Amino acid sequence: MFADKLWARFGPPDGEDFDEAFSHIKQSGSLRDYQREFEKLGNRVHGWTQKALVGTFMGGLKSEVADGIRMFKPKTLKEAISLARTRDEQLTRQRRFVRSIQPNQPPATVTPINQRTTIAPK
């Protein structure tokens, strides 16, 4: 079982173009799943600079995570992953906080401008 896991993660390429797949990777689920897939594909590509790895990782993140860490300009993949985890945890805490404050409150409704009451000046 251990050998199977090693081959799955670090094994020889099986004819796929890992560079192409790696350059198009996107986060669609959790950050943990994205990082796992990124590392799995990253272990199968060669010759990528640290800058290219960071750019690819950042470019594949959900915008709510990437936008919150881009200003820090991570230089290494390790730094980018750490910042992404921190931002993801912040977003998770914010969502929990909002839900705890407004557990059964219906979504706010917006009144169109043309239906609002206006007060004439005196």
**Per-residue pLDDT tens for 31-68?**
999 999 999 999 888 899 999 999 999 999 999 999 99
Eight-class DSSP state of 72 = G
Q: What is the pTM of this model?
A: 0.69
Tokens of 120: 């004439």
CA distance 39 to 77: 10
- Tell me which residue has tokens 């590509």: 45
Tokens of 108: 């706010």
Q: How confident is the model at residue 98 (pLDDT cuts 50, 70, 90)?
A: confident
Structure confidence by residue, pLDDT tens digits, 9-30: 665 545 457 888 899 999 999 9
Tokens of 11: 């094994």
* Residue that wins the pLDDT comparison between 103 and 71: 71
Burial state string for 88-113 with b = 16 or more CB within 10 A and e = fewer than 16: beeeeeeeeeeeeeeeeeeeeeeeee
What mean pLDDT is reported for the chain? Answer: 83
CA distance 61 to 11: 26
